[in-house]
Amino acid sequence: MNNIKDELYQIGKQSQTDKIWHHGYHRFYSLFLNSIRNNNIKMLEIGLDRTNSLVMWRKYFPKAHIYGIDIDATIYDDKDTTIFKGDQSDKKFLATVVDDIKDKIEFIIDDGSHVPEHQLISFNFLFKNLLQDDGIYIIEDIETSYWRKGKLYGYLLGYEINNISLTEIFKSVVDKINLEFIPQKDKEKYNKVDHIDDEVLQMIESIFFGTNCIIIMKKNMSYSDRYDKRKYRFEKFL
């Protein structure tokens, strides 16, 4: 397992992306992404900055078609990379991206504005409309949900300003995933999560919290009913 992590670390280091040298995301990402690394996948990254991460993804996913979203004009010369200019909090823009891609994709990563409201808009729309079953969705830089007050990329951030915490919202998803084991009288309380669309919530298979990131996997809807609608075998203990 360390070899898998080390390989992503070396690729990221060569690409000079802060995903590796600053955040150390390779500690988590390789666990979820290594199995699709050599597949002909499609992936989307929100927030491209100096495009260093695109260099890393191209080396890590040599057969992938990479899509990118950035609010500023970004030039990246690669025949298997497509860049869309727009705002991740604009649902109409996101809809044009989905229409242009014309297919479900395996992997989406949000390294955009870092504004919790924007992260939620993108997640709710793209998780449902663009990510395929069994797909992986990563939200980076959740640190801003812990800030008291600050400014980044021209946005005011922090709980004194936004009054919303991405981490607290997604913590609630843990109970929803384990709803089967919650007493019937309490199920309604945990069957909804503020700021996450009900339909999207039903599609979440698992959730992982790492340092400064959240990794969400989408259900394979073709077999989800087998587990979601069964009766809990130890219900008498609840």
Please tell me the predicted confidence (pLDDT) of residue 6: 84
Residue 9 lies in a domain: no
Specify if 173 maps to a domain.
yes
Q: What percentage of the chain's residues is helix, strand, coil (to nearest 5)? A: 40, 20, 35
Pairing of strands 42-46, 65-70: parallel
Domain of 200 in residue numbering reads as 39-228
Contacts of 222 (CB under 8 A, 6+ apart): 133
The tally of domains found in the chain comes to 1
Q: What is the pLDDT of residues 168-187, one digit of tens each?
A: 999 999 999 999 999 989 99
Average model confidence (pLDDT) across the chain: 92
pLDDT at 4 over 80: no
pLDDT for 215-233, tens place per residue?
Answer: 999 999 777 767 777 888 8
Domain-located, residue 23: no
Residue 160 lies in a domain: yes
pTM for the model: 0.94
